Amino acid sequence: MSEAQGQGWEAGGSAKPSKREALIAAAFDLFTKHGFEQTTVDDIARLAGVGRSSFFRYFPSKEDVVFPDHEGCLAEMTAFLQDGSGEEDPVIRVCDAARLVMRMYSGNPSFAVQRYRLTKSVPGLRHHELSVVWRYERTLADYLRRRFAHRPDGTLRADVIAASVVAAHNNALRAWLRSGGQDDPTAHMDHALRFVLNSWGPEGEARSADDQDADDVVVLIAKRKAPMWRVVRGIEATLGDL
pLDDT in tens, 7-31: 444 434 446 779 999 999 999 999 9
pLDDT value at 105 more than 90: no
What's residue 99's pLDDT? 93
Mean per-residue pLDDT of the chain: 85
Which residue has better confidence, 99 or 224? 99
What's residue 85's pLDDT? 85
DSSP 39: -
Question: Residue 77, class by beta-carbon neighbours within 10 Å (0-12 exposed, 13-18 middle, 19+ buried)?
Answer: buried
Q: Residue 242 — very low, low, confident or very high, per pLDDT cuts 50/70/90?
A: very low
Nearest-CA neighbor of 125 among 62, 192, 178? 62
Nearest-CA neighbor of 44 among 64, 24, 60, 70? 24
What's residue 84's pLDDT? 81
Quick one: which H or E segment has residue 152?
A: none
Sketch the domain layout of the chain as residue ranges: 8-200
pLDDT in tens, 186-220: 999 999 999 999 999 886 554 554 554 545 565 65
CATH homologous superfamily for 8-200?
Answer: Tetracycline Repressor, domain 2 (1.10.357.10)
Is 102:169 a contact under the CB 8 Å cutoff? Answer: yes
Count of CA atoms in the C-beta half-sphere (13 A) of 215:
5
Question: Residue 87, class by beta-carbon neighbours within 10 Å (0-12 exposed, 13-18 middle, 19+ buried)?
Answer: exposed
Q: Phi-psi category of 180—alpha, beta or left, where left has phi over 0 and alpha has psi -120 to 50?
A: left
Q: Residue 86 — very low, low, confident or very high, per pLDDT cuts 50/70/90?
A: confident
What's residue 10's pLDDT? 43
How far is Cα 93 from Cα 162, in angstroms, rounded to an integer?
11
How far is Cα 132 from Cα 169, in angstroms, rounded to an integer?
14
> Which pTM was predicted?
0.76
